[in-house]
Amino acid sequence: MLGVSGEEEGQDGPASASVGSRAELHVHLNGAIPASTVKDILADETTVLPQGFEIERDLLRRIRSKSLAAYLTPWQILRLFPRKRENLDRLCVAALANLAANGVRFVELRSSVLYLATLQKCSPTQALERLIESTGDAAQRQGIRRGLILTVTRGDYGAIALATLLQAYQDLGEPDDVVGLDLAGDEEMAYPAQLPSLFRQAKDRFGLGITIHAGETGRAENVRSAIELFGANRIGHGTAAGKDPDLMELLAKENVCVEVCPISNRLTGAVPAEEAHPLQEFRRHGVPFVICSDNPGIHQRGLVDDHAAAMAEGLSVGDMRHQFEMAKRYSFMESLA
């Protein structure tokens, strides 16, 4: 088990047994799997690694990467499994156990159902049903409430992917387990002109929350587009907004919450080493934000560590005390006590 110190521990001794309640609104399921579980599943499924990929060198990210693309190297293998149904259960159990070890009481997990459908050679509807079952069972075992955010990747087929996901969602009777939609991927990549309106339609028709990865690669205009075109309720990362006072004013005015991932932002280079993290600027301008962990499995650190990193970036104890209530307020999940 990955403890709050980033070291793997036995199942009987989570390092964070005494931490208070925390909530997680930006975490990718495949980025939350402990390295030991990844290796075990790859071996079990006899997965052939991409040419040039070395597990010990390329799976984890502990120091700053040269670029966002370099940071994302682990996804060369993280997108290759699970091919077996039982391994989906296995990785969900491991990921949820680590969240619990970090004091997480409710979580919104992001996952790509279309990748899962391809890997398990089933329909998107079946893949979504399996994801709901596996994450639900694992969350229940840990005493965690969980919702699912379905991820669409930027690119020419983004609109088709979204339509396919929404059809699967409808085929299952619009389950309450699904709480939101996410747009991720290379921010420099073009997407179909109709994609923003499709996101807004899904928000209006189904009541799903919208979160958009934007402003992670230095393009502040992507944050504005996420709000004005996609109808985003939350922004993933959004670090570029810290340099744009007008955009900060817009975030505050529209009450759009920024999902801040302090460790990830430094590892990806979204916040350069010589610059201050915009966290304090968000606070000064009244922009709501929640501290999140993004990909704790490949960082070998958990949400507790991201909270500590946020304080190292200048947040006060008082700021951190409000985090659980802030997460409740901006969560897409209903009826959080």
Please list the rounded mean pLDDT of every run of 10 residues in the chain (337 residues): 40 42 97 98 97 96 93 97 98 98 97 97 98 98 98 96 98 98 94 97 98 92 97 98 96 98 97 94 96 98 97 91 95 85
Phi, psi of 122 (to 5 degrees): -135, 175
Per-residue pLDDT, 218? 74
What is d(CA 75, CA 30) in angstroms, rounded to the nearest whole number? 8
pTM over 0.85? The answer is yes
Per-residue pLDDT, 337? 54
CATH no. for 22-330: 3.20.20.140
User: Is the distance from CB of 22 to CB of 103 less than 8 angstroms?
Assistant: yes
> CB within 8 A of 156, min separation 6: which ones?
190, 191, 192
Per-residue pLDDT, 5? 36
Half-sphere exposure of 221 (CA within 13 A, CB side): 1
User: Is the distance from CB of 215 to CB of 239 less than 8 angstroms?
Assistant: yes
- Rounded to 10°, the helix 158-171/113-120 angle is 80
What is d(CA 258, CA 239) in angstroms, rounded to the nearest whole number? 9
